[in-house]
Structure 1
Amino acid sequence: MLTAFKAVTGAAIKQAIEGRDARMLSSFYADDAVVRVIDRNNPPSKPREVRGRAAITTFWDDICGRAMTHKVETSIADGERLAFTQDCAYPDGTKVFCIATLELRDGKIVRQTVVQAWDE
């Protein structure tokens, strides 16, 4: 069953991420979207790139399927751009902090950059 189109807003991102709703998150992306992930294992010179909605769906299925909590703290919108911060925690106490920027086209995400830091 497909999730009905919902506009990409800070509130919608918060609802989907905090609810671990991979299907809703995937519905926010254009077919040709790209998600770049920058972290310790994927430095700025060689970020991980997840291309296309099918691969992005797999990406969100993995993240939302993990036993962890997500809290979207701050979101800022400016025209066709949106940014948000996210605090995550695993049951063992490991924490992750993410900041993401989104570029939108026709109400869908076409490019997302995620920078994340993990407890070591």
Structure 2
Amino acid sequence: MFVALNEREFDDVITRFKELVYEYNSKIKEYNVYLKPFHVVNKGGKRYFYIGKYWYKLERINGKLKWIYLGKEKPIKEMPDPPRFPDATIIKAENKYIVDDEIFKELRASVLSDKL
């Protein structure tokens, strides 16, 4: 079963995820790698939001910053573990954000518990 989130609920979820990822990235900055807070893919008139799944490093190429993809696994074993995020993809279709009901419950428990 799927649940539709309104704009405010979606913003609350994304904002909290970003805060967690930014805090984590601050802790691991000495390793020069980053967990990307979210990744957006546009396909077939829909937007897909992937949360905290991809690792990157930043490199300066010809004076511009470039994100260099490193994969889905933590690239350096010695780093602390990243925040645990539900394996969720949020889909924006028309004016609604769609997420699996079970994942939404987990999102609410793990990410929004301080706001509910």
Higher helix share: 2
Query: In terms of Rg, which structure is larger?
Result: 2
Quickly name the TM-score band, shorter chain normalised.
0.3 to 0.5
TM-score of the pair, normalised by structure 2: 0.34
TM-score of the pair, normalised by structure 1: 0.33
Higher strand share: 1
